[in-house]
Protein backbone atom coordinates (compact mmCIF):
# COMPACT_ATOMS: atom_id res chain seq x y z
CA UNK A 1 0.00 0.00 0.00
CA UNK A 2 1.28 3.46 -0.86
CA UNK A 3 2.23 5.53 2.14
CA UNK A 4 0.23 8.74 2.60
CA UNK A 5 1.89 12.05 1.75
CA UNK A 6 4.15 13.21 4.54
CA UNK A 7 3.17 16.47 6.20
CA UNK A 8 6.19 16.51 8.47
CA UNK A 9 7.72 19.25 6.38
CA UNK A 10 4.88 21.66 7.10
CA UNK A 11 6.18 25.14 7.84
CA UNK A 12 6.18 26.18 11.48
CA UNK A 13 4.79 29.62 10.72
CA UNK A 14 1.93 30.48 13.15
CA UNK A 15 -1.61 29.96 11.81
CA UNK A 16 -2.42 33.60 12.54
CA UNK A 17 -0.02 34.74 9.84
CA UNK A 18 -2.86 35.32 7.38
CA UNK A 19 -0.85 37.23 4.78
CA UNK A 20 1.64 34.50 3.98
CA UNK A 21 2.06 30.81 4.72
CA UNK A 22 4.09 27.87 3.43
CA UNK A 23 3.33 24.14 3.47
CA UNK A 24 5.44 21.36 1.97
CA UNK A 25 3.91 18.01 1.05
CA UNK A 26 5.98 14.90 0.40
CA UNK A 27 4.63 12.17 -1.88
CA UNK A 28 6.32 8.80 -1.63
CA UNK A 29 5.15 7.09 -4.84
CA UNK A 30 7.25 8.28 -7.77
CA UNK A 31 5.06 6.34 -10.22
CA UNK A 32 1.93 8.32 -9.32
CA UNK A 33 3.63 11.69 -8.89
CA UNK A 34 3.79 12.62 -12.62
CA UNK A 35 0.01 12.08 -12.84
CA UNK A 36 -0.48 14.50 -9.96
CA UNK A 37 1.61 17.11 -11.76
CA UNK A 38 -0.08 16.57 -15.11
CA UNK A 39 1.54 16.87 -18.50
CA UNK A 40 3.99 19.78 -18.46
CA UNK A 41 2.82 20.47 -14.87
CA UNK A 42 -0.54 21.68 -16.14
CA UNK A 43 -2.42 20.49 -13.03
CA UNK A 44 -0.13 22.43 -10.74
CA UNK A 45 -0.36 25.47 -13.01
CA UNK A 46 -4.16 25.36 -12.87
CA UNK A 47 -4.14 25.22 -9.07
CA UNK A 48 -1.78 28.21 -9.00
CA UNK A 49 -4.00 30.13 -11.44
CA UNK A 50 -7.30 29.50 -9.62
CA UNK A 51 -6.12 29.88 -6.03
CA UNK A 52 -3.41 32.50 -6.46
CA UNK A 53 -0.73 30.44 -4.72
CA UNK A 54 2.78 29.44 -5.74
CA UNK A 55 3.65 25.76 -6.12
CA UNK A 56 7.29 24.71 -6.22
CA UNK A 57 8.19 21.12 -7.03
CA UNK A 58 11.49 19.48 -6.16
CA UNK A 59 11.86 15.72 -6.29
CA UNK A 60 8.88 14.17 -4.54
CA UNK A 61 7.99 17.34 -2.65
CA UNK A 62 5.57 20.14 -3.52
CA UNK A 63 5.83 23.41 -1.59
CA UNK A 64 2.76 25.66 -1.42
CA UNK A 65 3.18 29.37 -0.65
CA UNK A 66 0.47 32.00 -0.41
CA UNK A 67 -2.25 33.43 1.80
CA UNK A 68 -3.15 31.14 4.67
CA UNK A 69 -6.67 30.28 3.50
CA UNK A 70 -5.65 29.81 -0.13
CA UNK A 71 -2.70 27.64 0.92
CA UNK A 72 -5.10 25.42 2.87
CA UNK A 73 -7.32 25.12 -0.22
CA UNK A 74 -4.38 24.14 -2.42
CA UNK A 75 -3.25 21.57 0.14
CA UNK A 76 -6.77 20.08 0.32
CA UNK A 77 -7.01 19.91 -3.49
CA UNK A 78 -3.62 18.20 -3.87
CA UNK A 79 -4.38 15.66 -1.15
CA UNK A 80 -7.79 14.89 -2.69
CA UNK A 81 -6.20 14.32 -6.10
CA UNK A 82 -3.47 12.16 -4.56
CA UNK A 83 -6.12 10.04 -2.84
CA UNK A 84 -7.81 9.44 -6.21
CA UNK A 85 -4.50 8.30 -7.70
CA UNK A 86 -3.86 5.94 -4.79
CA UNK A 87 -7.27 4.40 -5.40
CA UNK A 88 -6.38 3.79 -9.05
CA UNK A 89 -8.71 6.50 -10.35
CA UNK A 90 -8.00 8.87 -13.21
CA UNK A 91 -6.90 12.44 -12.59
CA UNK A 92 -7.40 14.81 -15.49
CA UNK A 93 -8.55 18.37 -16.08
CA UNK A 94 -12.13 17.64 -14.92
CA UNK A 95 -10.90 16.07 -11.67
CA UNK A 96 -8.59 19.01 -10.96
CA UNK A 97 -11.44 21.47 -11.52
CA UNK A 98 -13.67 19.41 -9.21
CA UNK A 99 -11.00 19.30 -6.48
CA UNK A 100 -10.61 23.07 -6.69
CA UNK A 101 -14.36 23.70 -6.45
CA UNK A 102 -14.61 21.39 -3.46
CA UNK A 103 -11.56 22.84 -1.76
CA UNK A 104 -13.01 26.33 -2.09
CA UNK A 105 -16.38 24.97 -1.01
CA UNK A 106 -18.19 28.25 -1.52
CA UNK A 107 -16.11 29.89 1.23
CA UNK A 108 -16.32 33.22 -0.58
CA UNK A 109 -20.13 32.96 -0.47
CA UNK A 110 -20.12 32.24 3.27
CA UNK A 111 -20.63 28.47 2.95
CA UNK A 112 -18.53 26.07 5.04
CA UNK A 113 -15.69 24.31 3.25
CA UNK A 114 -16.25 20.55 3.27
CA UNK A 115 -13.56 18.08 4.42
CA UNK A 116 -12.72 16.33 1.16
CA UNK A 117 -12.03 13.02 2.89
CA UNK A 118 -15.62 12.86 4.20
CA UNK A 119 -17.58 13.77 1.08
CA UNK A 120 -20.79 11.84 0.40
CA UNK A 121 -21.02 9.66 -2.70
CA UNK A 122 -23.69 7.75 -4.61
CA UNK A 123 -22.68 4.10 -4.90
CA UNK A 124 -23.88 2.12 -7.91
CA UNK A 125 -22.60 -1.19 -9.23
CA UNK A 126 -20.61 0.74 -11.85
CA UNK A 127 -18.76 2.52 -9.05
CA UNK A 128 -19.07 5.49 -6.71
CA UNK A 129 -20.22 8.84 -8.10
CA UNK A 130 -18.56 11.58 -6.07
CA UNK A 131 -19.63 15.25 -5.96
CA UNK A 132 -17.72 17.78 -8.04
CA UNK A 133 -18.77 20.87 -6.13
CA UNK A 134 -19.87 21.79 -2.62
CA UNK A 135 -23.42 22.27 -3.90
CA UNK A 136 -23.39 18.76 -5.38
CA UNK A 137 -22.21 17.35 -2.04
CA UNK A 138 -25.13 19.04 -0.27
CA UNK A 139 -27.52 17.80 -2.97
CA UNK A 140 -26.31 14.19 -2.59
CA UNK A 141 -26.91 14.44 1.17
CA UNK A 142 -30.46 15.67 0.54
CA UNK A 143 -31.16 12.91 -1.97
CA UNK A 144 -30.13 10.34 0.65
CA UNK A 145 -32.17 11.83 3.52
CA UNK A 146 -35.24 13.61 2.13
CA UNK A 147 -38.38 12.13 0.58
CA UNK A 148 -38.80 15.06 -1.80
CA UNK A 149 -35.97 17.20 -3.18
CA UNK A 150 -35.92 20.15 -5.57
CA UNK A 151 -32.67 20.69 -7.49
CA UNK A 152 -32.69 24.20 -8.95
CA UNK A 153 -30.05 25.94 -11.01
CA UNK A 154 -28.37 26.36 -14.41
CA UNK A 155 -27.59 23.66 -16.92
CA UNK A 156 -24.43 21.64 -16.39
CA UNK A 157 -24.55 21.49 -12.60
CA UNK A 158 -25.41 17.77 -12.41
CA UNK A 159 -28.95 18.13 -11.06
CA UNK A 160 -30.52 15.45 -13.24
CA UNK A 161 -27.46 13.21 -13.51
CA UNK A 162 -27.09 12.85 -9.75
CA UNK A 163 -30.84 12.36 -9.28
CA UNK A 164 -30.80 9.49 -11.79
CA UNK A 165 -27.69 8.03 -10.10
CA UNK A 166 -29.46 8.03 -6.73
CA UNK A 167 -32.49 6.36 -8.27
CA UNK A 168 -30.35 3.63 -9.83
CA UNK A 169 -28.56 3.07 -6.50
CA UNK A 170 -31.88 2.66 -4.66
CA UNK A 171 -33.25 0.34 -7.36
CA UNK A 172 -30.16 -1.88 -7.31
CA UNK A 173 -30.32 -2.24 -3.52
CA UNK A 174 -34.05 -3.01 -3.55
CA UNK A 175 -35.07 0.11 -1.63
CA UNK A 176 -37.50 1.04 -4.41
CA UNK A 177 -39.28 -1.21 -6.90
CA UNK A 178 -38.97 1.07 -9.92
CA UNK A 179 -37.78 4.38 -11.29
CA UNK A 180 -40.13 6.77 -13.07
CA UNK A 181 -38.47 9.49 -15.14
CA UNK A 182 -40.59 12.26 -16.61
CA UNK A 183 -40.32 15.54 -18.49
CA UNK A 184 -42.87 17.99 -19.87
CA UNK A 185 -42.89 17.77 -23.69
CA UNK A 186 -42.78 21.52 -24.21
CA UNK A 187 -41.98 22.82 -27.68
CA UNK A 188 -38.85 24.99 -27.60
CA UNK A 189 -38.86 26.69 -30.98
CA UNK A 190 -40.15 23.65 -32.91
CA UNK A 191 -43.58 22.11 -33.08
CA UNK A 192 -44.19 18.45 -32.20
CA UNK A 193 -46.55 18.11 -35.14
CA UNK A 194 -43.72 18.65 -37.60
CA UNK A 195 -41.65 15.79 -36.14
CA UNK A 196 -41.97 12.41 -37.91
CA UNK A 197 -43.35 9.25 -36.33
CA UNK A 198 -45.94 8.23 -33.77
CA UNK A 199 -46.39 9.84 -30.34
CA UNK A 200 -43.53 7.84 -28.74
CA UNK A 201 -41.15 8.83 -31.53
CA UNK A 202 -42.24 12.45 -31.21
CA UNK A 203 -41.59 12.70 -27.45
CA UNK A 204 -38.45 10.53 -27.25
CA UNK A 205 -36.14 13.43 -28.22
CA UNK A 206 -37.43 15.34 -25.17
CA UNK A 207 -36.58 12.38 -22.94
CA UNK A 208 -33.16 11.61 -24.46
CA UNK A 209 -31.13 13.25 -21.63
CA UNK A 210 -32.78 10.84 -19.19
CA UNK A 211 -31.84 7.85 -21.36
CA UNK A 212 -28.26 9.17 -21.58
CA UNK A 213 -27.94 9.43 -17.80
CA UNK A 214 -29.31 5.91 -17.34
CA UNK A 215 -26.81 4.46 -19.78
CA UNK A 216 -24.00 6.03 -17.76
CA UNK A 217 -25.16 4.09 -14.68
CA UNK A 218 -26.24 0.76 -16.17
CA UNK A 219 -25.18 -1.45 -19.10
CA UNK A 220 -27.35 -0.86 -22.18
CA UNK A 221 -28.83 -4.37 -22.13
CA UNK A 222 -29.81 -3.97 -18.47
CA UNK A 223 -31.50 -0.64 -19.18
CA UNK A 224 -33.50 -2.29 -21.98
CA UNK A 225 -34.49 -5.27 -19.79
CA UNK A 226 -35.53 -3.10 -16.85
CA UNK A 227 -37.62 -0.86 -19.14
CA UNK A 228 -39.27 -3.96 -20.64
CA UNK A 229 -40.07 -5.30 -17.14
CA UNK A 230 -41.45 -1.93 -16.02
CA UNK A 231 -38.71 -1.36 -13.44
CA UNK A 232 -37.70 1.78 -15.32
CA UNK A 233 -40.34 3.97 -16.94
CA UNK A 234 -39.58 7.04 -19.02
CA UNK A 235 -42.64 9.03 -19.99
CA UNK A 236 -43.91 12.55 -20.71
CA UNK A 237 -45.48 14.34 -17.77
CA UNK A 238 -48.97 14.09 -19.29
CA UNK A 239 -48.84 10.31 -18.76
CA UNK A 240 -48.65 10.79 -14.97
CA UNK A 241 -52.22 12.06 -14.55
CA UNK A 242 -54.52 9.84 -12.48
CA UNK A 243 -51.73 7.59 -11.17
CA UNK A 244 -50.34 6.92 -7.69
CA UNK A 245 -46.59 6.27 -7.66
CA UNK A 246 -45.96 3.85 -4.78
CA UNK A 247 -42.60 2.32 -3.82
CA UNK A 248 -40.84 4.15 -6.62
CA UNK A 249 -38.27 6.84 -7.25
CA UNK A 250 -39.77 9.55 -9.46
CA UNK A 251 -37.85 12.34 -11.19
CA UNK A 252 -39.45 15.31 -12.92
CA UNK A 253 -36.83 16.96 -15.12
CA UNK A 254 -37.06 20.37 -16.84
CA UNK A 255 -39.70 21.28 -14.28
CA UNK A 256 -39.50 24.99 -15.14
CA UNK A 257 -41.63 24.12 -18.17
CA UNK A 258 -44.55 22.79 -16.12
CA UNK A 259 -47.66 24.82 -15.48
CA UNK A 260 -48.85 25.29 -11.90
CA UNK A 261 -51.54 22.65 -12.44
CA UNK A 262 -49.06 20.15 -13.90
CA UNK A 263 -46.65 20.63 -11.02
CA UNK A 264 -49.37 20.11 -8.40
CA UNK A 265 -50.56 17.03 -10.30
CA UNK A 266 -47.07 15.50 -10.30
CA UNK A 267 -46.26 16.23 -6.66
CA UNK A 268 -49.56 14.72 -5.51
CA UNK A 269 -48.83 11.43 -7.33
CA UNK A 270 -46.49 10.50 -4.46
CA UNK A 271 -47.47 7.24 -2.81
CA UNK A 272 -46.28 5.02 0.03
CA UNK A 273 -42.55 4.29 0.08
CA UNK A 274 -41.79 6.70 -2.75
CA UNK A 275 -39.27 9.48 -3.24
CA UNK A 276 -39.46 12.39 -5.64
CA UNK A 277 -36.88 14.69 -7.20
CA UNK A 278 -37.82 17.79 -9.18
CA UNK A 279 -35.10 19.49 -11.23
CA UNK A 280 -35.15 22.62 -13.33
CA UNK A 281 -33.60 25.93 -14.33
CA UNK A 282 -35.93 28.87 -13.64
CA UNK A 283 -34.05 31.01 -16.19
CA UNK A 284 -34.86 28.64 -19.10
CA UNK A 285 -38.67 28.71 -19.24
CA UNK A 286 -40.14 27.73 -22.63
CA UNK A 287 -43.79 28.23 -21.67
CA UNK A 288 -45.93 30.70 -23.66
CA UNK A 289 -45.51 34.37 -22.65
CA UNK A 290 -47.53 35.21 -19.57
CA UNK A 291 -47.78 31.56 -18.44
CA UNK A 292 -46.19 31.29 -14.96
CA UNK A 293 -43.81 28.42 -14.28
CA UNK A 294 -45.06 25.68 -11.98
CA UNK A 295 -41.54 25.28 -10.59
CA UNK A 296 -41.32 28.88 -9.42
CA UNK A 297 -44.76 28.66 -7.81
CA UNK A 298 -43.97 25.35 -6.08
CA UNK A 299 -40.73 26.72 -4.60
CA UNK A 300 -42.68 29.68 -3.20
CA UNK A 301 -45.62 27.69 -1.82
CA UNK A 302 -43.62 24.78 -0.39
CA UNK A 303 -40.87 26.80 1.27
CA UNK A 304 -40.35 25.49 4.80
CA UNK A 305 -42.58 22.42 4.40
CA UNK A 306 -41.19 19.57 6.51
CA UNK A 307 -39.64 16.71 4.53
CA UNK A 308 -38.87 18.80 1.42
CA UNK A 309 -35.29 19.78 0.60
CA UNK A 310 -34.24 22.47 -1.88
CA UNK A 311 -30.73 22.37 -3.37
CA UNK A 312 -29.79 25.55 -5.20
CA UNK A 313 -26.98 25.60 -7.75
CA UNK A 314 -25.21 28.64 -9.17
CA UNK A 315 -22.92 29.44 -12.09
CA UNK A 316 -19.86 28.44 -10.04
CA UNK A 317 -21.29 24.88 -9.75
CA UNK A 318 -21.28 24.18 -13.51
CA UNK A 319 -19.22 20.99 -13.92
CA UNK A 320 -19.08 20.79 -17.70
CA UNK A 321 -16.34 22.40 -19.79
CA UNK A 322 -15.11 25.61 -18.05
CA UNK A 323 -16.35 27.59 -21.06
CA UNK A 324 -19.92 26.48 -20.26
CA UNK A 325 -19.69 28.19 -16.87
CA UNK A 326 -18.53 31.41 -18.54
CA UNK A 327 -21.37 31.18 -21.09
CA UNK A 328 -23.93 30.72 -18.30
CA UNK A 329 -22.43 33.69 -16.45
CA UNK A 330 -22.55 35.87 -19.58
CA UNK A 331 -26.21 35.07 -20.20
CA UNK A 332 -26.95 35.72 -16.53
CA UNK A 333 -25.41 39.19 -16.76
CA UNK A 334 -27.37 39.91 -19.93
CA UNK A 335 -30.64 38.87 -18.26
CA UNK A 336 -29.90 41.10 -15.26
CA UNK A 337 -29.20 44.07 -17.54
CA UNK A 338 -32.42 43.42 -19.45
CA UNK A 339 -34.46 43.29 -16.22
CA UNK A 340 -32.81 46.47 -14.96
CA UNK A 341 -33.74 48.31 -18.20
CA UNK A 342 -37.34 47.12 -17.96
CA UNK A 343 -37.57 48.27 -14.33
CA UNK A 344 -36.17 51.72 -15.22
CA UNK A 345 -38.59 52.00 -18.13
CA UNK A 346 -41.51 50.86 -16.00
CA UNK A 347 -40.81 53.42 -13.29
CA UNK A 348 -40.34 56.21 -15.81
CA UNK A 349 -36.68 56.75 -14.96
Q: Which domain holds residue 141?
A: 121-318
Residues 219 and 278 in one domain: yes
CA gap 53, 178 in Å, rounded: 48
Q: How many CB atoms lie within 10 A of CB 268?
A: 10
* Shared-domain flag, residues 141 and 256: yes
Predicted local confidence at residue 102, as pLDDT: 82
> Does 88 lie in the same domain as 30?
yes
Helices (H), 89-219: 93-104, 134-145, 159-172, 199-217
pLDDT tens, residue by residue, 176-229 = 999 999 988 764 444 445 555 555 555 566 677 788 888 888 888 998 899 899
DSSP 8-state code for residue 329? H
181 lies in the same domain as 310: yes
- Say how many domains are in the chain: 2
Rounded CA gap, 84 and 118, in Å? 13
What integer pLDDT is reported at residue 112 of this predicted model? 43
127 and 150 assigned to the same domain: yes
The CATH number linked to 68 is 3.30.1370.10
- Of the three residues 109, 129, 146, the one that is the final residue of a domain is 109
Based on the domain organization, do 162 and 197 belong to the same domain? yes
Domain assignment present for residue 246? The answer is yes
**What pLDDT, on the 0 to 100 scale, is given for residue 17?**
43
CA gap 53, 47 in Å, rounded: 8
Q: Is 111 helix (H, G, I), strand (E, B) or coil?
A: coil
- Tens of pLDDT, residues 31-58: 999 999 999 899 999 999 989 999 998 8
Question: Are residues 251 and 279 both part of a single domain?
Answer: yes
130 and 104 co-located in one domain: no
83 and 125, same domain (yes or no): no
Q: What is the mean pLDDT of the chain?
A: 81
In a domain, 253, yes or no: yes
Same domain, residue pair 156 and 255? yes
Answer whether residue 111 shows pLDDT above 70.
no
Q: Does 198 reside within a domain?
A: yes
- Do residues 237 and 258 lie in contact, with contact meaning Cβ atoms separated by under 8 Å? yes
User: DSSP 3-state assignment of 245?
Assistant: strand
Q: What is the pLDDT of residues 121-141, one digit of tens each?
A: 787 766 778 888 888 888 999
**What pTM was estimated for this model as a whole?**
0.72
Amino acid sequence: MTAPPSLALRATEPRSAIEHRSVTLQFDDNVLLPMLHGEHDRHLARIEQVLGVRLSSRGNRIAITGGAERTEMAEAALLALWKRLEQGQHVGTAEVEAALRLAEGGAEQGEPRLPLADLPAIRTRKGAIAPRSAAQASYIEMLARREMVFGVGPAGTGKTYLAVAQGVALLQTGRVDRIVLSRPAVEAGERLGFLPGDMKEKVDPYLRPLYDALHDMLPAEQVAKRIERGEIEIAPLAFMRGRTLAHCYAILDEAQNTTAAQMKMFLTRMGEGSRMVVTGDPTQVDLPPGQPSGLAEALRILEGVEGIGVARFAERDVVRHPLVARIVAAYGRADEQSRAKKERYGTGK
